[in-house]
Structure 1
Amino acid sequence: MTSDFAAGNYSFIPGVFQYSAGAAANPGYEVERVRFDKWLPLAEGFARIAQYIQAVGRPLTSFCACELRSPAAFTDEGFRNFNLHYVKTLAEWGVYDGKTNPVARSNVCPEIDPPTEPSFYAFSFTRPSQSASPSFVIAGSGESQDGAASYAERTVRYRDISPDGIKEKVRYVVDVMEKRMAAFGHGWKDATAAQTYTIRDFYPVFADALVSRGAARAGLTWHFARPPVIDLEYEMDCRRVMREVVI
Structure 2
Amino acid sequence: MSAMSESVPVRCPACRREHFYEAPSYPCVCGAPVAPALDEHGTATAVAHRAWDEDWVVVRCDACGRRNQWPYPELGCSCGTMLRVPVAAASAAASPRAAAPAGRRAFQPVTIRTARDAVTAAALYLRWLGYRDIRRADQRPPAGVGLAARGLLAQVDPTVRPASLRDVECLWLTAMTESTACVYFSLAGFSPDARTRAEALAVPLFVLDLTGTPQAVNSHADELDAAGA
TM-score (norm 2): 0.28
TM-score (norm 1): 0.27
